[in-house]
Amino acid sequence: MKPVLLSFHNNGPLGLGGLEDRFNIIRLWKEQDPESVIQQHKNDVVAINCALSHQIGKKLIEALPNLEIIATYSVGFDHIDLETTQKRGIKLTNTPDVLCQETADTGMALLLATARRIVEGDMFVRTGKWYNGKLPLGITLAHKTIGIVGLGGVGSKIAKRCEAFEMEVVYYGPNKKDVPYQYYSNITPMAQDCDMMILTCPGGEATANLVDINVLEALGPKGILVNIARGSVVDQPALVGALQNGVIGAAGLDVFADEPHVPEELISMDNVVLLPHIGSATLETRTKMGQLVIDNILAHFDGKELLTEVVRQK
């Protein structure tokens, strides 16, 4: 009998065909009663394939005594209970690197769309307002200072793109890096010195509510905030209030505190651009991510080194 792969999603455009020979794949999203299917196969499940909208918590992990590996179709892994996986010695893999270009492009798209009122302009044309009105002016990017929060894989690619737009790049993160950009060890003074700020850091406890009302006040009434990291990095009610009261100027958001729920107040604002968490969502990149998930799972069961293991601090 083949071991069981518990899959929470179809692994993007590539699908799960590449694992069919080796595993009995349970496609949980197709099940009427997922809980009872898990219960029925709990002793046979050796691998989980999930994405960031699937909470892989203590209860589930503990219910699967033979689970060996969790392969997430995302770079972030804040949806997985790391303490429990670590305690059980369960391997964890993610999909870094392959999505950095794409996510950086999404960040730039949001920055441009927000600063230049692209979505508002589109609505302006579609609703016939061009005939008797003027779209408010946008904001220039060139020669403005952009603060990147988290200069990792995605943040570094954003920095290169911002340089090409002739922007001044500065950054905040836990460590100073060997890069030609000014470093801030504290986010608030950086926000004070920035015209725009883009969040690309990981989610999780360490960055929860990092952008609070003090940071938003420091960014100021003309400031633009772009978030392509995690909703948890921003105090969302504070952000809504800051946008309503002119504490900051505008925001471009790909991520939210409780996806897919977006506060009603944001939906009715002109000074925000909203996306449904599509940082890496292109055919090419999602195919590469799916391949990495498959390759990691196969590597594990072939006794080979994992391609992209999430290595945790002991």
* Residues near ligand GLV, by CB under 6 A: 52, 74-76, 99, 279-280
Closest CB to ligand GLV among 56 and 242? 56
Nearer to ligand GLV, 74 or 156 (CB): 74
User: What's the closest the beta carbon of residue 73 comes to ligand GLV, in angstroms?
Assistant: 8
168: tokens are 């001044």
Tokens, residue 25: 């794949």
Considering the complex, what minimum distance in angstroms separates the CB of residue 280 from ligand GLV? 5
DSSP annotation string for 204-236 = SGGGTT-B-HHHHHHH-TT-EEEE-S-GGGB-H
Shorter beta-carbon distance to ligand GLV: residue 227 or 271: 227
Q: How far is the CB of 54 from ligand GLV (least distance, A)?
A: 12
Residue 137 · residue 193 · CB < 8 Å? no
Query: Of 179, 283, 279, which is closest to residue 229 (Cα–Cα)?
Result: 279
Catalytic pick from 68, 168, 217, 259? 259
CB nearer to ligand GLV: pick between 289 and 297: 289
Cβ of 85: how many Cβ atoms within 10 Å?
A: 22
- Which one of 277, 284, 309, 312 is the catalytic residue? 277
DSSP state of 186: S
The encoded tokens of residue 181 equal 């950009």
Concerning whether 259 is annotated as a catalytic residue, the answer is: yes
Q: Shortest gap between Cβ of 313 and ligand GLV (angstroms)?
A: 19
Nearest to 73 by CA among 284, 287, 233: 287
Of the candidates 73, 34, 81, which has an alpha carbon nearest to the alpha carbon of residue 51? 73
| 116 belongs to the catalytic site | no
Return the number of the residue (250 or 293) whose C-beta is nearest ligand GLV. 293
Query: Are 118 and 169 within 8 A, CB to CB?
Result: no
Q: Measured between alpha carbons, how far is 251 from 203 in angstroms, rounded to an integer?
A: 19
Q: How far is the CB of 262 from ligand GLV (least distance, A)?
A: 16
Place of tokens 């958001």: 253
We find the least distance from the C-beta atom of residue 74 to ligand GLV, in angstroms, to be: 3
Please tell me which residue in 54, 79, 230, 300 is annotated as part of the active site.
Answer: 230
Ramachandran quadrant class, 64 (left: phi over 0; alpha: psi -120 to 50; beta: rest) = beta
For ligand GLV, give the closer residue by CB, 242 or 294. Answer: 294
Alpha-carbon distances, residue 40 vs 2, 25, 44, 215, 261 (angstroms)? 15, 14, 9, 49, 32
Task: Using the minimum distance from each CB to ligand GLV, give the nearer residue, 18 or 96.
Answer: 96
Total count of residues recorded for the chain: 314
Tell me the C-alpha distance between 300 and 295, whole Å.
9
Of the candidates 242, 252, 200, 201, the one whose C-alpha atom is nearest the C-alpha of residue 218 is 242
Smallest gap from residue 295 Cβ to ligand GLV (A): 17
| Residues labelled catalytic | 230, 259, 277
